[in-house]
Chain A
Amino acid sequence: MNAWSRSPAESAFSGDVMPFHGPRFRYQVTEVRSSWAAAVVERLNELCALPRGWNGYDGLPVSFSVAQFTLSTLNAIMWDDAPIPSIIPCGSGDLQVEWHLISGDIELHVMGPNEVSAFYEPAGDSGNAIEMEVKADFTAIAGWLRELGEKRRAIITAAA
Chain B
Amino acid sequence: MPLSPPPRDARGVVVPHDHPDILPDHKIIRRVSPYHIAPDEKTPSGRRISTAAYQPSNGGVGESMSVDLEASILDAGADPRQYVSNPPFIGSVWFAAAFLRGESLMVGFDPLSENPHHGGVWGSFPRSRQKRLLQAAEWYVQIAGVDLK
A residues lining the B interface (CB < 8 Å): 50, 54-60, 86, 88-96, 98, 100-102, 107, 109, 117, 119, 123, 131, 152
B51 at the interface (CB under 8 A from A): yes
CB < 8 Å: which of A50, A101, A107 contacts B51?
A: A107
Assess the B48–A54 pair: CB atoms within 8 A.
Answer: no
The reply to whether A89 and B58 form a contact with Cβ atoms under 8 Å apart is: no
Question: Which chain B residue shows the least CB distance to A60?
Answer: B58
Contacts A90-B59, A92-B56 hold; do A55 and B33 have CB atoms under 8 A apart?
A: yes
SS of B interface (majority): loop
Stretch of B20-28, B34-42, B100-108 on the interface side: B34-42
Q: A92-B58, A93-B59 are in contact. List 10 more A-B contacts (CB 8 A).
A: A57-B66, A86-B39, A91-B58, A96-B50, A98-B38, A100-B43, A102-B42, A107-B51, A123-B42, A131-B127
A102 and B42 alpha carbons, distance in the complex (Å):
5
A56–B59 CB distance below 8 A = no
**Which residue, B51, B58, B63, B128, has most C-beta atoms of chain A within 10 A?**
B58
A-chain residues with CB within 8 Å of residue B66 when the two chains form the complex: 57
Are B57's CB and A86's CB within 8 A? no
Q: A88-B35, A90-B52 are in contact. Are A117 and B127 (CB under 8 A)?
A: yes
What 0/1 readout, one digit per residue, does chain B (45-75) give for beta carbons within 8 Å of chain A?
Answer: 0001011100111111001001000000000
- Asked whether B50 lies within 8 Å of A57 as measured between CB atoms, the reply is no
What is the bound-complex CA distance between A77 and B9, given in angstroms? 46
The 25 sampled A-B contact pairs (Cβ below 8 Å) are A54-B33, A54-B35, A55-B33, A55-B36, A55-B58, A56-B33, A56-B88, A58-B57, A88-B38, A88-B52, A89-B35, A90-B52, A91-B59, A92-B56, A93-B59, A96-B50, A98-B50, A100-B38, A100-B39, A100-B40, A101-B42, A102-B42, A109-B52, A117-B126, A131-B128
Please list the 10 inter-chain residue pairs (A to B) with the smallest Cβ-Cβ separation, ordered nearest first: A92-B59, A57-B57, A100-B40, A102-B41, A91-B58, A57-B66, A86-B38, A88-B52, A88-B50, A96-B52
Q: Which residues of A contact B57 (CB under 8 A)?
A: 55, 57-59, 91
With A94-B59, A100-B38, A123-B42 known as contacts, the answer to whether A86 contacts B50 (CB < 8 A) is: yes
**Which residues of chain B from 77 to 91 have a CB within 8 Å of any chain A CB?**
88-89
B117 CB within 8 Å of chain A: no
Residues of B within 8 A of A123 (CB): 42
Which residues on B sit within 8 Å (CB–CB) of A152? Answer: 41
